[in-house]
Structure 1
Amino acid sequence: MQSKNKGEISFINKVRIRFVETDPLGIVWHGNYIQYFEDGREAFGRHHGISYLDQKEYGYATPIVKSSSEHKFPLRYGDVATIKTIYVDSLAAKMIFKYEIFNQEDVLVCTGETVQVFVDKIGEGDLSLTIPDFFKDWKQKVGLLNE
């Protein structure tokens, strides 16, 4: 499922909370929410044609340089969580994603954000200060650029 507002594109996927992701009380350990963000990015990328494998094909990697999360309510073993991943458009050579995670009662349990930059995998892993052509093409394809 996807939605689109001006300057942003989103995708919604679900994950079942596994036993290994919880503490002895059956509550999801806070560090696992970063993995749920990655699950959301992976699903977003596959759906919208900008996955890590797509980026690698063009000779780039996009390491995370910033991440944050705010926890409101716990998820528990056996819950089915809904992850809404939102791409926020930027003029800079980076990818910004925001996340909203909901429990099965549709209560917002966590929000977060990650920022990724482009590094050249063909050369020395140099930081790209300009938006790579393949990413400009993708932005135009999904309606974020009118050029």
Structure 2
Amino acid sequence: MKSKKLENAEENTLKVSQDIRVRFNETDALGIVWHGYYLHYFEDGREAFGRKHGISYLDVKAHGYVTPIVKSSCEHKLPLRYGEIATIETTFINTPAAKMIFNYKIFNAEGDLVCLGETIQVFVDDNNDLSLTSPPFFKAWKDSNKLI
């Protein structure tokens, strides 16, 4: 039985799943996905998340901000190979800080966990200044998604 706190946290979780097919150019001489491409897959997940939940890079840019990544992590569990279909599950982690945190799980076609990851992005305005508080549009987005 789940606790009430856990149930409420799951209700306020925004996520998206995106399927990708491993391309030949993403593999190394061993025929497996080169480790650097997992960060590309994370970006595919963020792009899908932004489109689904109304906070794409273009939406952020329209409000005068960009969101550079300041930290990324990737933990490899199993390899992916050329031609395989993988699913990227991207979850927004709510925080009161002026940042966007995403967690990633990548699964192979059999449903096995291939990779875990996380990225942290901050808000930088058009003057290239770091925002120490959440921009108004981001607060409004969080409010509209009941992420307070």
TM-score past 0.5 threshold:
yes
Structure 1: which 5+ runs fail to align? none
Among 130, 137, 140, the alignment partner of 1:137 is: 140
- Overall identity of the aligned pairs, in %: 63
Equivalent position of 2:63 in the other structure: 58
Quote the RMSD (CA, aligned, Å). 1.0
Equivalent position of 1:69 in the other structure: 74
Tell me by how many angstroms 1:8 deviates.
2.6
Equivalent position of 2:130 in the other structure: 127
Matches within 5 A, 1:99-118: 99-118=104-123
Tell me by how many angstroms 1:109 deviates.
0.4
* Aligned-partner Cα distance in 2 for 1:6–1:64: 27
Equivalent position of 1:49 in the other structure: 54
Tell me by how many angstroms 1:6 deviates.
4.4
Equivalent position of 2:6 in the other structure: none
Equivalent position of 2:38 in the other structure: 33
Which secondary structure state, in structure 2, belongs to the residue aligned with residue 73 of structure 1? coil
Equivalent position of 2:84 in the other structure: 79
Equivalent position of 1:12 in the other structure: 17
Tell me by how many angstroms 1:143 deviates.
1.2
Structure 2: which 5+ runs fail to align? 1-8
Matches within 5 A, 1:93-104: 93-104=98-109
* Aligned-partner Cα distance in 2 for 1:41–1:8: 15
Tell me by how many angstroms 1:25 deviates.
2.0
TM-score by length of 1: 0.93
* Aligned-partner Cα distance in 2 for 1:51–1:66: 19
